Structure 1
């Protein structure tokens, strides 16, 4: 499929789950659409970027491994993204990548550093709770790769705990317990 046809198809969807699933299925069937989707997220309008991210979200929840040939592009777009909805989706993708890393250790040191940097930015910054929860889980998933990570993660979770939502506190408690053991 051409970039123009993919853009037109992406713009046709709504935020309904059935539309997002259909887009995700197309990406699963034709993984090279990931490249176009990342380009739309980086360079497109907010509407095109958000809808492209919806499709990526569904596809990568089904099979995170299809991102491998595009991981470098994803990590570059990850660093530059400023769209709130895309941040939530990207934070979930980071969690999926780091969960896969726990099984297969398939992220390079540079890739882990990019993910950690962005996830700490999200955790420390003024982000919605879903982004923070996915970020803290991603950081925890990588906590054994560098000796400084557990202490920094624990400090951030404790610092934000009392002023945070129940959802944040629930995940933070779980991670703090794991860090203590």
Structure 2
């Protein structure tokens, strides 16, 4: 493990400049991607959520960099407890689902669907629930059962949720009902 890289992740913060600096570093030095994935998926590493911040940005702009690590990342997603890690991985799940560059296996898709359903019916915060809805909405285009399940969950929980949840729910319901 590279002490320099670990130190930079440890000293990073949630600010855009800090995250972008590390993202650009990994893009320019792809040999660090393996280490980044290792940190992000090591729940015993106190900075795993900071590594996820970088992965979250990479999946949006450079999803191909994650391909060799997808199984490890997807297997680890349901194990996260740190709120920032869960939030980041909810965005990762969403961007993986809509990626035109990455073709997920059926097994990977099923795991993402299961994770998103768990976030929706569980005690996740608003952001992971919203990204779970968006991810499931995407998969619902090809799987009618997801459409029905998503509609049922949203309708059941709608009145007890925050304004942010309701806004995302309305958008998702509009998409799946048309």
TM-score between both structures, scaled by the size of structure 1? 0.89
* SS class of match (1:43): coil
- Note if contact 2:64-2:102 (Cα within 8 Å) is conserved in structure 1: no
CA distance in 1: counterparts of 2:92 and 2:31, whole angstroms: 17
> Which residue is equivalent to 1:69?
68
Deviates more, 1:7-16 or 1:125-134: 7-16
CA distance in 1: counterparts of 2:58 and 2:25, whole angstroms: 8
- Note if contact 1:46-1:83 (Cα within 8 Å) is conserved in structure 2: no
Task: Return the offset for 1:145.
Answer: 3.4
How many residues were matched structurally? 178
Answering whether residue 25 of structure 2 is matched by residue 16 of structure 1, we say no
> Which residue is equivalent to 2:110?
113
CA distance in 2: counterparts of 1:39 and 1:142, whole angstroms: 28
Task: Return the offset for 1:32.
Answer: 4.0
CA distance in 1: counterparts of 2:145 and 2:51, whole angstroms: 35
Gaps of 5+ in 2: none
Equivalent of 2:174 in 169, 174, 177: 177
Gaps of 5+ in 1: none
Go from structure 1 to structure 2 and tell me whether the alpha carbon gap of 1:177 and 1:15 turns closer, same or farther (over 3 Å shift). closer
Answering whether residue 4 of structure 2 is matched by residue 28 of structure 1, we say no
1:67-125 deviations in Å (ceiling 9; x for gaps): 1121111111213222110000000011111111xx46711110100100111111111
> Which residue is equivalent to 1:51?
50
Go from structure 1 to structure 2 and tell me whether the alpha carbon gap of 1:79 and 1:38 turns closer, same or farther (over 3 Å shift). farther
- Note if contact 1:24-1:55 (Cα within 8 Å) is conserved in structure 2: yes
* SS class of match (1:162): helix
* SS class of match (2:103): coil
> Which residue is equivalent to 1:164?
161
> Which residue is equivalent to 1:92?
91
- Note if contact 1:24-1:57 (Cα within 8 Å) is conserved in structure 2: no
